[in-house]
Amino acid sequence: MTHKLKAEWLLFTLNPLEVQLVENELKSSCSALDAMSIKELDIKLQVYQYAYQVSFSVDDGCHKESLLSAVESASQTLKFDYCRLLSVKPIKLAVFDMDSTLIPMEVIDELACEAGVKLQVSEITEAAMRGELDFNQSFEQRLSLLKGMSEQAVEAVKSRLSFNPGVEAFINYLSEQGATVAIASGGFVPFAEALCSKAPITKIAANQLMFNQGQLTGAAVKPIINAEKKAIQLQQWQKELGLENGEVLAVGDGANDSFMLEVAGLGVAYKAKPFLRRRADCVIQQGGMDGMIDILKGLDQAVS
């Protein structure tokens, strides 16, 4: 006999959703779904206009990947952000990727622009973000192309740093709630440190830049902060702070963030590639980063 399991999600939108459209979209991607119900949540929202709790049953033989793909596909068509209905505690550690997550740029691409090798570096960056290249190799290839770049050129890129929409509001919210905010990045320490001067970010794990006589050597300083190192660092910070898994949140946008999101109690894909969206607990595509304030409040209300 086939058993049915219950799956629940929270959906957040800027426009009202039609129940039948949601059901049709989900079933078109995963035929194992049925008996869906949807209700609007009565919560005060800051970024979104509407929040919904969706419940449906699914065959216990349905693969988790199929279910995640179905929700992700529907979100793209119907323009909603979403989060699995999880029982999470107040967040006490939030770990962010930096490039294209906290900031709208890939720093190494900006450095490459200054060095006149933007096209070559961007092609390697995109392939790495899609999960098509080993991060360490791609990192070393890109960095080697920057050999001879001056410290002044690096400072010029640092002066252009700005946060993505809603980032400062969300970080300030987390800090006010007593959370430690950290950066775990495959990018570079000087840029992460610059962001710490703009917002209450207190922990950093990122790659070093090596200079010789005022010029980049193009050599990578080991160990390289890759996907595995990010996840390990998150767990070390969690242990140092004496936190439970449900008190830890991680946010990223690419394949290099996948392990970090997996080990966190709540993994968030922000404006992310499909690879990561299908592996995350929460996905933000429509709202800004401050949409996570609404999502955390929605989770708290739905499970209480």
Is the pLDDT score of 147 beyond 90?
Answer: yes
- Say what the pLDDT of residue 219 is: 95
Report the DSSP pairing between strands 180-188 and 282-284. unpaired
- Say what the pLDDT of residue 1 is: 42
Domain residue limits, the chain: 1-86+290-304, 93-239
Span 93-239 CATH architecture: 3-Layer(aba) Sandwich (3.40)
- In tens, the pLDDT along 198-232 reads 999 999 999 999 999 999 999 999 999 999 999 99
Average pLDDT value for residue range 152-169: 96
Residue type, 83: C
Is the pLDDT score of 255 beyond 90?
Answer: no
Give me the active site residues, please.
97, 99
**Predicted TM-score (pTM) of this structure:** 0.93
The contacts of residue 279 (CB under 8 Å, 6+ apart) are: 68, 258, 261, 262, 267, 269
- In tens, the pLDDT along 290-301 reads 999 999 999 988
Q: What angle do CA 195, 196, 197 make, to 5 degrees?
A: 90
Phi then psi dihedrals of residue 231, to 5 deg: -65, -40
- In tens, the pLDDT along 77-89 reads 999 999 999 888 8
- Say what the pLDDT of residue 69 is: 81
Confidence of residue 100 (pLDDT cuts 50, 70, 90): very high
Query: Which two three-digit tokens encode residue 7?
Result: 């799956």
Fold of 1-86+290-304: Alpha-Beta Plaits (3.30.70)
